Amino acid sequence: MIQQDVREHFSARAERYDRSSHWCGDRAFLERIVDRLGASAGYRVLDVACGTGQVSRVMSERGLRVLGLDFTEAMFRQGRELTEFFVAGSGEAMPLAGDSVDAAIERQGIQFMDDQRAVSEMVRVTKPGGRVCLVQLCAFGAEDEREYFEILRLRNPARRNFYRVERLGELLENAGCAKVEIHSERSSEDVEVWADNGAIQSESQKAIESCYRSASEPFRRLHEVEIRDDGTILDRMLFAIAIGVC
């Protein structure tokens, strides 16, 4: 269950992870995600693939009792103190009893996992009536997915899954969730900063920038790509926040 390529990727990225994208530490975005979870102070919430603890921090500050789970030590050693409890383990086979948390969330974790299995695990450990929340970068649709998935593959060769928004709803419904809602968010990313994640070679970074410079008209339009005179490339990326009730 421990995928070595994923762990190696995040071990290489851990030191600069928090600075490698705007979305990662964007406080307003984090607050909106946690708002969507609808959890009250004292609730016990599982943060799957908690990494350096960006989501855990905001939840802890709101008085939630956070249980973190991740399998890359270089990432979770920065974040585990932000959690009340921490489990080193796999999102696809959680060492947790059923109905043991009030809600569960993952942000940018299940793209590295057997995603249906991981979401089913989130539902299994969440009490009936609790919410399960998935937050993922997504393609806008058929017009941009081929180019975008190629870019995401270059940035992280360990990635296994690529999403369109509706797939997140299917994952929740297949796991038994009801009342599924999906919300969208945009995040403006400087592509040069985003591509320089500490775990890929400069050839891959250049290939990513080249994809943006030669992107199709639909891709540029949907992503609102801006190429400035100083060479800066901006992409207004799409995130989906999908929530279901167990």
Binding site for ligand SAM (CB under 6 A): 6, 10, 24, 49-51, 54-55, 70-72, 75, 90-92, 107-109, 112-113
For the bound state, the minimum distance from the C-beta of residue 151 to ligand SAM, rounded and expressed in Å, comes to 16
| Nearer CB in complex with ligand SAM: 105/246 | 105
What separation in angstroms does the CA of 158 have from each of 64, 130, 153, 198? 32, 31, 8, 14
For the bound state, the minimum distance from the C-beta of residue 118 to ligand SAM, rounded and expressed in Å, comes to 7
For the bound state, the minimum distance from the C-beta of residue 155 to ligand SAM, rounded and expressed in Å, comes to 11
For the bound state, the minimum distance from the C-beta of residue 57 to ligand SAM, rounded and expressed in Å, comes to 10
| Nearer CB in complex with ligand SAM: 58/215 | 58
| Nearer CB in complex with ligand SAM: 215/238 | 238
Residue in the shown chain whose Cβ atom is closest to ligand SAM:
51
| Nearer CB in complex with ligand SAM: 105/215 | 105
